[in-house]
Structure 1
Amino acid sequence: MNKRNIQVSLRQGNINDAEAILELQKEVLSESKFMISIIEEYQETTEQLRNWIEKILNNKREKLIVAESKGQIVGLIVFRSKSTKRLSHTGSFTAMVKKQYRNQGIGKLLIKELLNWAEHNPLVEKVSLGVLSTNQRAIELYKSMGFVEEGRKIKEVKFSDDLYVDDILMYKLV
């Protein structure tokens, strides 16, 4: 359940979710002003997504969680770890929620589930993320969940000739 009593369930994503995840990613990229990539750059195929999901499922330091409502994937969170030995205890996440399901607590549910997994995974010690400085709602959510600003990439994202946005790096030790 969430804020508006919409039935939402969380589960581990799997290869059979590739098509629905692809549609979710395209939808979010096409309308979100808070993503670094834009839809015109997104060239992923269902087969490539299946391979990506399979790699996550076969890595004990990575996780894919999907949120479902009425049998439809409405959100996801994915945690990817660093591949080098000295950074393998860390990783970062990306989360997406369909527009009509935002501001209902689904993102918070996904993050809670991810943090619970990370806290019980002896291979994960640090959970990180990047968030655009213009995404104040997300920044407040992350802070409320114990994430701390670690640094900032100044003018990292360029939206137009005279509009730049910082990428805020945040983390939480688990």
Structure 2
Amino acid sequence: MTEKIKIRVANEEDAGALLEIQQEVLAEEDYLITTIDEFQRTIDEQREWIQEKLANERETIFIAQYRGKIVCWLVFQSPQRKRLAHTGTFGMMVLNEYRGLGIGKLLIEKLLEWAEHNPYIEKISLGVFSTNERAIALYKKMGFVEEGRKIKEIKLHDNEYIDDVLTSFSECLDIR
């Protein structure tokens, strides 16, 4: 399976595919803070967003193609503030039918490799819904550690809250 997957840096021409994946994943309403009705980005705005990420040497976007079709993407974003510029967070979206096949793992490996060679990035973090057990297991397997939790940070419905699990990776990034 993984031999049929190609990982590469995204480009402007990928905007439509990334937008479609984002809309499909948001529509599931399972593990993302943004809801589908809050997401109103146009294709031109998506292109601009991709350009902004790729123009910043501390940010990147990777995509995974399976048999030529973009099925997953990962974005790494770094704060502009000087005291946080050594850090960044990532988010990843995988089309439902391609989950559990190791594609997310390949993208995270690519991110870690990129970060290891990036002279600015020393720490990679992310927040994950406490109910997203598959993602949490993957992150732990890849060396991410739980740093803490924001208790009842995410409100799903009236009287239904979940924790935001804060995880990070800095093991191989050689804290400079």
Q: Does TM, normalized by the shorter one, top 0.5? A: yes
2:28 is matched with 31
How far off its partner does 1:70 sit? 2.2
Report what 2:133 is aligned to.
136
The 1:70/1:32 distance shift into structure 2, 3 A limit, reads farther
CA distance in 2, matches of 1:172, 1:140: 14
Distance in 2, matches of 1:148 and 1:76, equals 22
Structure 2 partner of 1:10: 7
**Deviations, residues 133-167 of structure 1 (Å, cap 9, x unaligned):** 00111111101111011111111111111210100
Whichever residue aligns with residue 68 of structure 1, its letter is Q
Rounded Cα–Cα distance in structure 2 between residues aligned with 1:19 and 1:45: 9
Q: 2:149 is matched by which residue type in structure 1?
A: R
1:168 maps to what in 2?
A: 165
Amino acid at match of 2:42: T
**Correspondence for 2:120 among 116, 120, 123:** 123
Q: Distance in 2 between matches of 1:116 and 1:123?
A: 13
Separation in 2, partners of 1:15, 1:161: 40
Residue deviations 1:6-57 (CA, integer Å, cap 9, x gap): x111000001111110001000000140111111111011111111100111
Q: What is the CA RMSD across the aligned residues, in angstroms?
A: 1.0
SS in 2 for 1:156: strand
Structure 1's unaligned 5+ residue stretches are none
Give, in whole Å, the separation in 2 of the partners of 1:163 and 1:121.
Answer: 40
- Please give the secondary structure, in 1, of the residue aligned with 2:164: strand
Q: Distance in 2 between matches of 1:71 and 1:142?
A: 26
Q: Residue 64 of structure 2: which of 56, 64, 67 is its match?
A: 67
1:104 equivalent to 2:106? Answer no
* Equivalent position to 1:114, from 102, 111, 115: 111
Match of 2:38 among 41, 48, 51: 41
Q: How many pairs are equivalent?
A: 171
Given the two structures, how large is their TM-score scaled by the length of structure 2? 0.94
Q: Secondary structure at the match of 1:153?
A: strand
State the percentage of identical aligned residues: 53
Which of the numbers 149, 152, 158 marks the counterpart of 2:149?
A: 152
CA distance in 1, matches of 2:42, 2:17: 12
Following TM superposition, the consecutive aligned residue runs of length 4 or more in structure 1 with deviations greater than 6 angstroms are none
TM-score by length of 1: 0.96
